[in-house]
Structure 1
Amino acid sequence: MERQDLISIGAAIAIVFFLAIVVKPALTGGPDDGAGTLPALSPWQTRTAPPPPPLSEKAEMIERAYRWTGIDGGVRTWTFAVQKDLFVFYRDMPRIPYASAWGRYALSDADRPYLEALVEAVAPDRFNTPDTDYYRVMDVIFFVQQLPYACDSSTASYREGVFPPAYRGGADYPKYPVETLVDGKGDCEDTSILAAAMLDLMGYDVVLLRYSDHMALGIEMAKFSPFYADYPPKYYDYEGKRYYYVETTNYIEIIRHIDSGSGNATVIPERWGRPWSIGDTADVGLTSVQKEKPEIIPLRYVVRPRYHTIYPVPTLSLEVGE
């Protein structure tokens, strides 16, 4: 082999070595300085969830009977029946740690058939008036508002009477819609997620409104004209749209004071079924709702890159001699 050939081979090896040791770390961040290293993903990002169980007529079912008042004042009933293995599938799912991504709970795929049946039962197209769409929206809101309130930190919030595997004491445990419907109760984020899922199925643009100690729903309305609008409606502008506040927790308790004749007053809480109307916050006794600007959480969003960094590459200069 000629001396010139040996020099050429040696130069090629040197170039490869230089690219591997110098140029690649400069682009991606070398092991010495850690530059360009992506942060470790959280467990819910790295865990590969098993597929949901297929629908089957032979599967064991869980049933819960519902009875509520419709927006027209009529008492209505419906029985929710779901496959037990699907409920367990959602119950065992790890919770999403970032509230800004909680819209995913309202968009879960496997429970679509059950939510479609729920929307049909709660908000059928039964009003032959120009305001049918508004009545149907209020039917959904009123149904969700009548679900009993139960805190995440209480075992009474769960059908099994024990904390779910993914529950972490002191942290929120947002429920998938199927979980809320099987439990028959939930707190503010649970009812907001359920209402968001139902209204999204009906074609409405909704967002979650997250306050420091509360969560509610926002619904986009091109024209605000609800029948109960004897109040200044609360709304928030976001991405060129206007979203009106919707309370999804227990509807208003009307208190009667009865004078017994002895100078003492008896307080009797009654549920007359007056709904929290769209945009109405007058009776919401939370300072956060009255004064804070909430974080607006869309159900669908595009993840923006956070860790893209380009590092300068040293000028490559090699001299090959004879």
Structure 2
Amino acid sequence: MPSGFFALLDDISALVKVSAASLDDVPTQVAKTTGKVSGIVIDDTAVTPKYVVGLDPSRELSIIYRIAKKSLINKLLILSPAALLLGYFAPWAITPILMVGGAYLCYEGYEKVHSMFSKHHDEPIESEAVKVITPEELEQERVTGAVRTDIILSAEIMAIAYSQVTGQPIVNQIVVMLAVAVFITVAVYGFVGLIVKADDFGVHLAQEKHHPATQKIGRGIVTFMPRFLAILGYVGTAAMLWVGAEIIAHGIPYTNQLLHDLEHALAAIPAIAWLAKVLVSAIAGLMIGFVVDKLVKLVKLILPDKRVAKNAA
């Protein structure tokens, strides 16, 4: 009996050593995954600040915290387990689901581009279309919209994280995916928080109690931030189109090969190769978004409007 007990302890000790050795690779796998999702992280970072524009400045950090909390919960409790379960039971389903998400990103990006160039001020405004809402309702709408967009991006992040640990022990898979979820969420929304409060920091530096040079820096920050946020909005829209189209392209062998061929043809100049791929993907995303927009409008024409039916009743 004692020998059997010590043999069991030896087996447990060996298992712990193997697990520990395996977990040593976790930081490397997390870093590798973070690098692969850099485009999506840029998209998430660029898109989020617009959700607090026009709201009470005192509520900005609170709104970002709400979005970040929901994003982290979605990653930890929904997307990570879903990726693990799908990877085990139905690995074939991951790519189509991501492609649908990619199409949604293209649609969102196209809508933003369309709104930039369409002349809404020339269109008559119907009194029925005007909706008066409270600041609290507006804040809730913004949070809901941000979370809806974030969950698509987060799904892609967690799918890529899973792709980096397939074939690894289950403990490794879980630890890496949880680490990626926490690290990226904190990094993205921490940076977003710094962006949206930078103007307040500038106002603080511009106060007369500080040195004139410090005041000048503060005024410069205040002047620059609106332009920076505008540029960031354009970058976010472009990133939505680029990332969405690239997700779809990776799900189709032919288009995936075309992207690889494009990168290979320009491999001598990596920056140009990356820029060309992004530009092609963004244009393709705009075209996909246009098609999805027409399909959405067609469905709305075919299906009865529940609000009209309710008012008629």
TM band (smaller chain): under 0.3
Q: Select the structure of larger CA radius of gyration.
A: 1
Of Structure 1 and Structure 2, which has the larger fraction of its residues in strand? 1
The TM-score normalised by the length of structure 1 is: 0.25
The TM-score normalised by the length of structure 2 is: 0.26
Asked which structure has the greater RCO (Cα within 8 Å, sep 6+), the reply is 2
